[in-house]
Structure 1
């Protein structure tokens, strides 16, 4: 039978569960599909342990990029970082291969991050987040992966996304002009810093509360889909986005957001140096973070058309970037 060309299939939860039991020597697993995203995510529960299985798409992550992610997380885990880590199968392999309708797909089984997402942090939890991030940066600033990941710089987070985004803004030239202008201001501002002295290495690049769990005072980080090379302050920038959302939605005041953010920074500095210039640069790296992700969404419209495509979404997103800039950036 000829299979009609397929762009995006969802692998059977039952078949995946059976595959994992066979290849990992696990028994009595119950599988559940969780979500579509950069990768498709499944949860597997056994009698005593739980796992997460991620199935990647070649449109998002090539095999070497997946190998780089696995390599990075394994190094972090082996050196004591609290992360959800890849589990080896019976043949000591981390990556599974599937012949899906659209072609070859790859998957990785991860340890389960116990606990739950927390969005309203205690003061001690904020310090813990800072210390854990700094601990990870002490590792990722000193390693070089065999399988390279994306680089996060002016070209990849501002110039390239804005070039690709232009067709999306055909009905909103004013919004596009604003993005061009704010990007120019960010580039000019970064030029005033001695960025050669900034810490550099592999950053998570999505350090939001949705990507770590607290189990008591234990934090476990997961979802390294976007991990790549850049200023380590990029991770502080993505975490700053949490405080923006909490303030913009009225959950906390701007003053309280500033206080909480400084507690997080205090925790970070207990483990790793962070210069005042790096701290000052964080909001501008945040603008780069916003524009990068907007570009990523445009490049993957086929996956998320119902959610992201359309003039209303673009106007809302530009408005959010404006508010973020007004709240945190001092040009």
Structure 2
């Protein structure tokens, strides 16, 4: 019987476990699905070892992009960055190939990031994030990958997502009008950014959910799925967004948010320059961050099974963006020019 056209399959954990044991020479492992989302993530483990296996969706990441992510993480690991590295199989191959119902899907095995997510970080942990993010940026701003990764620009983070979102705002015209008006103001600011802003491959999602701290205080970054070429300040912005959210939801005070981010910046600057102009651009870069992921959530609604999506979610998200635009400037700490590294 001919296989009916399929949009997004879920591979069997049992069959995948057998396949990975054969490909990587593993034994006595179990395999379970952890997340079915942007990509499918499985945990592979036995009594002594633990891994993450990620299977990409063709609709989300083409082979060229997957190879780019693997290449970047391999370079980062080889140069001492604290990242979860991709692991080759017994034949030296990084990518596993699956003839799934919807067509070819690719998978990559990653080393387990030791430790756990920490949302309420102490000063030492914040300093570690700043230092190690700067280490990554020193590498990613000085390389050119062999494989294509997308670019974060005005068009890709604001213009295109707003076009994608437009049909979803039927009946929510006031919210849509706010986004369009704010986008015009933000894009004007983008055009005023200093040409000296640092540029390279950015993670674009440096929130605490994407790094672990172990018991010794060491950090491991992971989930580079959205890595692309853009301003390094996007990564600084995404980390600041964590403190904006903590403040917005009443978990910390305004002063605690400022102090934590100041600690991060001071640590980052011990390793790599970060200008006051780049910090001042965070409110506008953050608008792009929010709009980009807003568009992504809508565009991937079917494959992602976004049960949360609907008019309430959209209104709440626009309200959060308004809160960001109203709050981000005042929430940022002030830095003296003399504090900058030149």
Q: TM-score, normalised by structure 1?
A: 0.97
Unaligned 5+ runs, structure 2 = 331-342
Shift of 1:189: 1.8
Equivalent in the alignment of 2:150 = 150
The runs of at least 4 aligned residues of structure 1 exceeding 6 Å deviation read: none
Unaligned 5+ runs, structure 1 = none
1:315 maps to 2:288: no
Equivalent in the alignment of 1:231 = 231
RMSD of equivalent CA atoms: 1.0
CA distance in 2, matches of 1:304, 1:50: 26
In the alignment of these two chains, the number of paired residues is: 329
SS of the counterpart of 1:109? strand
SS of the counterpart of 2:239? helix
Q: Which is further off, 219-228 or 2-11?
A: 2-11
Contact 1:158 1:183 in 2 (8 A): yes
SS of the counterpart of 2:182? helix
SS of the counterpart of 1:197? coil
Contact 1:152 1:229 in 2 (8 A): yes
CA distance in 2, matches of 1:329, 1:291: 18
CA distance in 2, matches of 1:24, 1:304: 29
Shift of 1:3: 1.5
CA distance in 1, matches of 2:305, 2:20: 32
Contact 1:284 1:329 in 2 (8 A): no
Contact 2:96 2:107 in 1 (8 A): yes
Deviations 1:205-250 (A, max 9, x none): 0100000000031000000010000000000111111111111111
Shift of 1:305: 4.6
CA distance in 2, matches of 1:318, 1:113: 34
Deviations 1:53-112 (A, max 9, x none): 000000100000000000010000000001001000011110000011111110000000
Contact 1:240 1:283 in 2 (8 A): no
Mapping of residues 1-80 of structure 1, within 5 Å: 1-80=1-80
Q: TM-score, normalised by structure 2?
A: 0.94
Shift of 1:47: 2.4
Shift of 1:192: 2.8
1:96 maps to 2:93: no
Equivalent in the alignment of 1:197 = 196
